[in-house]
Structure 1
Amino acid sequence: MLISTFTFAQGVITGSKHDFKAALWNTGGQICITCHTPHNAIAATGAPLWNHTLTAATFTLYTNLISSTFNATTTQPGGTSKLCLSCHDGTVDLDAFIGKAGALSGKITGPALLGINLSTHHPVSFAYNTALASSDGGLKDPSVTPAVAAMLFANNVECASCHDAHNNGPVGTKLLRATNAASALCLTCHIK
């Protein structure tokens, strides 16, 4: 039996900002291969069968020196954030997949380029737990708020807590996991 479409994965990314099947540097013309592979995957935390070269950058982090109300301790991005940053930090070529070093396409530019200074962006790679919610006073407790717990990766806030690389739905811009009309996405975790 021939299956013509795979709506469980491809149907969501098709037509999205991460649909690179027509990019000149994607010579295979496949949608998933720029990030995922069925064979010889790169070991990457939080990624099924990862295929894109991981960033080796050292990032400037968001800290309590930037905001006196920030009570968490950030660490160098790991897990799903490192996967996102492997393109969005601008240090790895877009076509650095399938074991290639890249260079045909160059690095990401424009508004999607976050760079290695993460101190001006929402903090990522920090533990979000009952202790943090209690000490902060402006955060919902993930142990009693299922919507918050569902956004965490190994109990951490990561890029994918708010963004879905496979999102092509009506949610809106910036691949948000949910609408942010009236700050709805922000208010999933924040009560202030």
Structure 2
Amino acid sequence: MNSQKIVVAMGLLLFGSGLAQAQTPSTAGTKFTNQGSIANTRHNLTQRAPAAGPNGTFMDLVRNDYGEVCVYCHTPHGADTNVKLPLWNRTTQATTYKTYNELKTSSLTQTVSQPGVNSLSCLSCHDGQTAVDSIINMPGSGRYNANQATATFAASQTFLNSWPGTGPKTGADHQALNSAGCLSCHGGVAIPGAPDFRIAAIGTDLTNDHPVGITFPTTNGPGTDFKTPTGTKGNATFFDSNSNGNMDTGDVRLYDAKVECASCHDPHGVPSGAAGSTFNLTFMRVANTNSAVCLTCHAK
């Protein structure tokens, strides 16, 4: 289906349903509760939340509804063994990113490499190269395709169209987070009730984002510009926010001594307070009130 037709159809349907009075995309908030579970966040790509939550009807035009929240990233069987991620089920394309060091800023003193695996997991959706529903092992028997591990956007469409449940069945309608796909509705256009996702569409140019794949300074602590991690677990070091010796989900961490997307973000959501409290915004491990995220690592 042509993306422009989707935009028009969605606009008319939303208007007819009485949602035309909703906020504009730039100000519209999520209809998820952002409490308790990833199922109650935007990372629930089934888009079918509990009562009064998002309705998946419009999303059914552009992605498969697998009826499971976790399967869009993980699978108990047939996972990709080429990436060091837990039971990884998403397509991960080989991509060369434009990295922060290419700006040649005078303050950069550390080595920046291509994003590591704990960034590639996020970028497999947020770089806009891969359909949001592009997975290796779809639920049910006989729906596994090993080639999906690294399939291109075009090559994945036939397999994704074979899903017998709700979702597109023909053409190349399984959309990615880019201007031709998700952003045709979620890109600031006048679609009432459609949140603006442009800031989440990172692309392959990472020069305007905090560097990932960057080595954390080994010279740190008092008298330097960087604080010293206070805990270690496996190949990770972390800033133990509550001094309990555990790498909790709310602890900023380094992977192989590098900053990656998952250093500051947890895609499952982190409660802002006691159990059951609303998750931190944008899946942050630490709420950035008074620059708390920045000041976890930076001594300023």
Fold shared, TM-score > 0.5 on shorter chain: yes
> Which of 57, 71, 96 lines up with 2:95 in the alignment?
57
Q: Tell me the CA shift for residue 43 of structure 1.
A: 2.3
Q: Secondary structure at the match of 1:152?
A: strand
Q: Partner of 1:106 in structure 2?
A: 175
Answer yes or no: is the 8 Å Cα contact 2:270–2:285 preserved in 1.
Answer: no
Superimposed CA distance per residue, residues 2-41 of structure 1 (whole angstroms, 9 cap, x where no aligned partner): xxxxxxxxx5211111011235223321000000001110
Answer yes or no: is the 8 Å Cα contact 1:129–1:143 preserved in 2.
Answer: no
Tell me the percent identity. 37
**Higher relative contact order, structure no. (Cα contacts within 8 Å, ≥ 6 residues apart):** 2
Q: Partner of 2:33 in structure 1?
A: none
Q: Tell me the CA shift for residue 143 of structure 1.
A: 6.0
Q: Tell me the CA shift for residue 138 of structure 1.
A: 1.2
Moved over 3 A (4+): 143-146
User: Whole-Å Cα distance in 1 between the matches of residues 84 and 108 of structure 2?
Assistant: 25
Superimposed CA distance per residue, residues 110-149 of structure 1 (whole angstroms, 9 cap, x where no aligned partner): 3210011101100001221423x37x93111236895179
**What are the equivalent positions in structure 2 for 1:92-171 lying under 5 Å apart?**
92-98=130-136, 99=145, 100=148, 101-102=156-157, 103-108=172-177, 109=183, 110-131=198-219, 133=220, 137-142=224-229, 147=239, 151-167=253-269, 169=271, 170-171=278-279
Unaligned stretches of 5+ residues in structure 1: 1-10
Q: 1:129 to 1:45 in 2, by over 3 A?
A: farther
Answer yes or no: is the 8 Å Cα contact 2:230–2:239 preserved in 1.
Answer: no
Q: Partner of 1:82 in structure 2?
A: 120
When Rg is computed on C-alpha atoms for both structures, the one with the higher figure is: 2
User: Whole-Å Cα distance in 2 between the matches of residues 172 and 56 of structure 1?
Assistant: 31
User: Whole-Å Cα distance in 2 between the matches of residues 168 and 188 of structure 1?
Assistant: 16
Question: What is the TM-score normalised by the length of structure 2?
Answer: 0.54
Question: What is the TM-score normalised by the length of structure 1?
Answer: 0.82
Superimposed CA distance per residue, residues 50-85 of structure 1 (whole angstroms, 9 cap, x where no aligned partner): 000013221110117442112111111121101111
Answer yes or no: is the 8 Å Cα contact 2:102–2:207 preserved in 1.
Answer: no
Unaligned stretches of 5+ residues in structure 2: 1-35, 48-58, 137-144, 149-155, 158-171, 178-182, 184-197, 232-236, 241-250, 272-277
Answer yes or no: is the 8 Å Cα contact 1:88–1:112 preserved in 2.
Answer: yes
Higher alpha-carbon deviation: 170-179 or 154-163: 170-179
User: Whole-Å Cα distance in 1 between the matches of residues 37 and 82 of structure 2?
Assistant: 22
Aligned CA RMSD, in angstroms, stands at: 2.5
Q: Tell me the CA shift for residue 90 of structure 1.
A: 0.7
Q: Secondary structure at the match of 2:101?
A: coil
User: Whole-Å Cα distance in 2 between the matches of residues 189 and 183 of structure 1?
Assistant: 11
